[in-house]
Structure 1
Amino acid sequence: MAVFVLVHGAWQGGWCWKRVAELLRESGHEVFTPTLTGLGERAHLLNSKIDVDTHIQDILGVIECEELSDITLCGHSYGGMVITGVADKVPEHIRSLVYLDALVPENGQSALDLLPTETTSSFLESARTTGAGFRVAPGRAGNFGVNIQDQAWVDRRCVDQPLKTFEQAIYLEGAWNQIPRHVYIYATGWDPGIGEQFFDQAQREAGWEAITMQCGHDVMIDKPQELTQILMASI
């Protein structure tokens, strides 16, 4: 039995992992799909002070309170910021890191530093015009390449993201590089996409496995069976 902690991306919640979590549990694994503060069923906690550190602490809290070790830690999209920060603080608890079409920050970088300029501008404009200065509205599921059948569900469940989670730089000691295994999964079926630069880097770096999947950004929704197999192979 392996232990999986699956961290969602911006605007979503633990709900997005439902299909993958069920498949992993059917195979006998222990699975945690925590929802980050201010999102999903915790949207009532949304406030202007929530930042990346808040979300890193959310996952550290799960690891501590559930007394987890030998973890396969997977982060989707913005969740790559979170899992990097977690792994840098408790590398001894992590067996492998899986970046699912995710941001991979270096020391001192924020999510906004890693995203295209037009995306950054749209986030800031959303917060300024409709988000009381601190909330970023979600984009439509179709823009991320989500399959037609699931678009209404995803749109219904997504909520505003705290702007500070995109703005705050992450500071790393480098301990996350000590994790025995790193995997990068690049979803190639949506435009503009965010994963190409990180996929290219993963191909060049020792200790990294680089994988492509022909689907939209929300791989866990579009291809849960295939993703489950990759996660189990990363143990």
Structure 2
Amino acid sequence: MTVFILVAGVFTGAGVWQETAARLAAAGGEAYAVPLTGVDAGRPAASAGVGLETHIEDVIAAIDAVGAAPGREIVLVGHDYGIHPVLGAADRRPQHVARVVYLDCGMPRNGVPALAAVPDQVLRAQLTDRAQRDELEGELAPPSGAGWQRWGSTAGLSVAALERLGALAAPQPLGTLLQPLRLTGAAAAVPSTGVLCTRNGVSVDVVQQLADLGDPVMAALADPRVTFFELPTGHWPMLSCPAALADVLLRAAAGEGRRLRPVGAAATPAHLRPFPLEVPELPRDRRDHVDLYISDAKGPRPAVVFVHGGPVPAGARPAPRDWPTLVGYARLAAAEGLAGVTLNHRLHDVGDFERAAADVAAAVELVRADPRVDADRVALWFFSGGGLLTADWLREPPAWLRCLAATYPILAPLPNWGLSDGRFHPVGALAQAGALPVVLLRAGRETPEIAATVEAFVTASKECGAHLELVDVPNGRHGFETLDATEETRSALRHAMRSVVTHLTG
């Protein structure tokens, strides 16, 4: 007999699990949704306040109530914030736990509070300041209506389900978010399953890519005891698709699921495969965090600065400026008589866009100061998650910026990125771009979440009369240069480069 102990996320208590728990029971399992102290009506807060340790004790009590009964196998399920008390409890009762399920949540680390996983970065900064002053008492009011989108994608929720989410919501005790999680490492031996809600921006393929990039935390997920499932919904699957969620939990308990390919098992990871076009083997000229590729032509020439995507783990080796795709683009630009430039920026986490933007701005100034470069003729070319960095340049394009290009870009923050201050929102910035030409390479087989940001950008360009040129790769996926090295891809790359050259030299 499998007993599922279900722990809800921020602002939500045991009530959100009602339908999922009923389906688990109907399939022959047992399900117990843990009432959390200070959140659920039946568990009022004590006078001393509520912290993460309080909720860990709530989960331990549930484990102990089941653990004494023979023949029962416990599966702990933590959604969102709920993974923090789940891991804390599993760390203290590892002998009683058969599996931990991470339901659309992060991977908490020892000594790090749940605050680190709060997606709204403005709120996170405010609460961090409060934690530094040791002000742990009080509550955080739940959102309402469209405000839930700041905490995760509401995709898949009907109007009634969203209203129910609001009706079930309760204030979150601040101590549960500000108190650090303490782990001994005992829970690391417990098998685990990640259930990823793809409409919230993460898929198994994304996790595999992060592992391939050299992130040691992600690489550890290639352990055969770790499995994965995907649900094509938003952040609250217990309300949007409880039957599908119950089925996945049952399969996870049975040890099913997709497993990551061990790092190094593939012949070549996608980001290290060759550039699909023949380009000259020009040497690089390395200056700080910038590499220049320049042909032997005399005199200053226009430059194209290629800005990689992300987030990319800080320890990724080789670093992005040495990836074959970026080097290939730079050498292709050099073959056209331009200066091709690659760089490294510090977009290692979704909270790093400000410092990544500063890195790009510094790289541009370094390039413009080079005597081999025409400082009045520069183009910026962005990729993937780096697409959000276009917003600054669209909002106030300098006179020397002759063209902006983007390849399979993300052009609005994804739901779980928490970028609510408006700075890195290219769709909103486009109306201020004026006559700046924008060349956009669009992947026809883009993931729905990213494709929606691109379509919003295209719609905005029509509404404001922006100078947008679309270069479509109908059968291309995100990363099509290496994933889909077809003649269609090669033709699109040549077309886009010709357009950028024209804007720089015309």
| Class of the TM-score when normalised by the shorter of the 2 chains | 0.7 to 0.9
Q: Does the alignment pair 1:155 with 2:166?
A: yes
Corresponding residue for residue 93 of structure 2 = 90
- SS of the residue corresponding to residue 72 of structure 1 reads strand
State the 1:107 CA deviation.
1.0
Contact 2:198 2:233 in 1 (8 A): yes
Match for residue 197 of structure 2 among 187, 195, 199: 187
Q: Matched residues in 2 for 1:95 and 1:72: separation?
A: 6
- SS of the residue corresponding to residue 41 of structure 2 reads helix
Corresponding residue for residue 58 of structure 1 = 58
Q: Does the alignment pair 1:225 with 2:243?
A: yes
- Tell me: CA distance 1:44–1:89, structure 2 relative to 1, closer, same or farther (3 Å): closer
What amino acid maps onto 2:197 in structure 1? A
| Farther-moved stretch of structure 1 (116-125 vs 74-83) | 116-125
| Farther-moved stretch of structure 1 (16-25 vs 203-212) | 203-212
Corresponding residue for residue 176 of structure 1 = 187
Q: Matched residues in 2 for 1:188 and 1:126: separation?
A: 33
| Farther-moved stretch of structure 1 (108-117 vs 199-208) | 199-208
The runs of 5 or more residues in structure 2 that have no matched partner are 211-217, 254-506
- SS of the residue corresponding to residue 249 of structure 2 reads helix
Contact 2:35 2:43 in 1 (8 A): no
Q: Matched residues in 1 for 2:207 and 2:235: separation?
A: 14
Q: Matched residues in 1 for 2:192 and 2:111: separation?
A: 20
Contact 1:76 1:99 in 2 (8 A): yes
Please report the TM-score for the alignment, with normalisation by the length of structure 1.
0.85
- Tell me: CA distance 1:4–1:54, structure 2 relative to 1, closer, same or farther (3 Å): same
Q: Matched residues in 2 for 1:103 and 1:18: separation?
A: 24
Contact 1:8 1:16 in 2 (8 A): yes
What amino acid maps onto 1:7 in structure 2? V
Match for residue 110 of structure 2 among 97, 107, 111: 107
Q: Deviations over 1:59-112 (max 9, x none)?
A: 111222343552011011000101110110001100111011123211111111
Corresponding residue for residue 413 of structure 2 = none
Q: Matched residues in 1 for 2:139 and 2:185: separation?
A: 31
- SS of the residue corresponding to residue 195 of structure 2 reads strand
- SS of the residue corresponding to residue 45 of structure 1 reads coil
| Farther-moved stretch of structure 1 (156-165 vs 40-49) | 40-49
Contact 1:80 1:99 in 2 (8 A): yes
Match for residue 222 of structure 2 among 205, 209, 213: 205
Contact 1:141 1:154 in 2 (8 A): no
Q: Matched residues in 1 for 2:229 and 2:188: separation?
A: 19
What amino acid maps onto 2:179 in structure 1? Q
Q: Matched residues in 1 for 2:145 and 2:226: separation?
A: 30
- SS of the residue corresponding to residue 42 of structure 2 reads helix
Contact 1:184 1:202 in 2 (8 A): no
State the 1:138 CA deviation.
1.0
- Tell me: CA distance 1:202–1:100, structure 2 relative to 1, closer, same or farther (3 Å): farther
Contact 2:229 2:248 in 1 (8 A): no
Corresponding residue for residue 14 of structure 1 = 14
Corresponding residue for residue 139 of structure 1 = 143
Q: Percent identity?
A: 26
Corresponding residue for residue 118 of structure 1 = 122
Q: Does the alignment pair 1:32 with 2:50?
A: no
Q: CA RMSD in A?
A: 2.9
Contact 2:227 2:252 in 1 (8 A): no
Q: Deviations over 1:39-71 (max 9, x none)?
A: 122364376621110000001112223435520
- Tell me: CA distance 1:140–1:111, structure 2 relative to 1, closer, same or farther (3 Å): same
Larger radius of gyration, structure 1 or 2?
A: 2
The runs of 5 or more residues in structure 1 that have no matched partner are none
Q: Matched residues in 1 for 2:122 and 2:184: separation?
A: 30
Contact 1:40 1:157 in 2 (8 A): no
Q: Deviations over 1:169-224 (max 9, x none)?
A: 11111010111x21111222247x8x998785378431222222221111111111
Contact 1:74 1:97 in 2 (8 A): yes
- Tell me: CA distance 1:150–1:114, structure 2 relative to 1, closer, same or farther (3 Å): closer
Corresponding residue for residue 167 of structure 1 = 178
State the 1:22 CA deviation.
0.5
